[in-house]
Copies of this chain bind each other. A is one copy, B any other.
Amino acid sequence: MNEVISTILNHRSIRHFEDKPLSDDQIKTIVSCAQAASTSSFIQAYSIIGIKDRLKKKKLAELVGNQPYVENNGHFFIFCADLNRHHLIGIQEQKDVKASIESTEKFMVALIDAALAAQNAAIAAESLGLGICYIGGIRNNLEEVKKLLKTPERVIPLFGMTVGYPAKINDKKLRLPFEHIYHEEEYQQNNEIYMQQLKEYDDVISQYYEERTGGKRKDRWTEQMANMLEKQTRMYMKEFIQNNKMDIK
């Protein structure tokens, strides 16, 4: 196994960091790696906002639902889908790009571009001995996040990423079975096989929790998912995105 694959397979989210900031060189390396990712038709439809200011991180930590590691880390990155750049280019080049940049297609392109860049950043950071955690919680309250980061229309903060020197290493979480995620030639047509794979995974996950909590917890994954999805969260999202002139039609 090479160093790249072992770094990737060794990933776990880190939620406790030493009180030691990243250097500007580290930040630049991580962002350069983000930028090296593929981008749809070279569109580069994302931006990254880095937060050093402790008060701003504290405010963000509150906004995401009181996650202390959003305040206490080596650096906090926020990855944004960004078509503002292309809106400005349209004005400058005197081309009507409105329908394109308001389309669902380009919204998807911007999300995918931002996520590819982010994952490169994550792997690069981990290769430097740093730990990371994605923070989807910034979507809890995007109006406030937008005000704090002063993002214009056509820029959607998608998720944050805490980066820093790990103070506590968690266990890796076991993923769905390979055969369940990976289908060959066509999508799995047999729902019985599909559900059986989930049942086997449930057994693995509940054994994992049982062993780690001395029998106190033995949740199944499907149970966790059903409970989570029964709650409706961030249901303002469509309105927010469309108010920011993306994903309109």
| B-binding residues in A (CB < 8 A) | 2-5, 7-9, 11, 13, 27-29, 31-38, 40-44, 46-53, 56, 80, 85-86, 88-90, 92-93, 95-97, 99-101, 103-106, 108-109, 111-112, 114-116, 118-120, 122-124, 126-128, 132-134, 136, 139, 148-152, 155, 158-159, 173, 175-176, 178, 181-187, 189, 191, 194-195, 198, 221-235, 237-238, 241, 247, 249
Number of copies: 2
With contact pairs A134-B38, A241-B104 given, residues A183 and B233 touching in the complex (Cβ less than 8 Å) = no
- State in angstroms the CA–CA spacing of A111 and B224 once bound together: 21
Shortest CB-to-CB span from A88 to chain B, Å, is 7
- State in angstroms the CA–CA spacing of A182 and B121 once bound together: 12
CB distance A103 to B224 under 8 Å?
no
CB distance A159 to B112 under 8 Å?
yes
Chain B residue, CB-CB nearest to A56: B185
Chain B residue, CB-CB nearest to A81: B108
CB distance B49 to A178 under 8 Å?
no
- Could you jot down 20 A-B contacts, CB within 8 Å? A5-B127, A8-B37, A35-B175, A38-B133, A44-B181, A46-B181, A48-B181, A48-B182, A49-B184, A50-B183, A50-B185, A90-B229, A92-B222, A93-B223, A96-B230, A97-B230, A100-B229, A103-B235, A105-B235, A112-B115
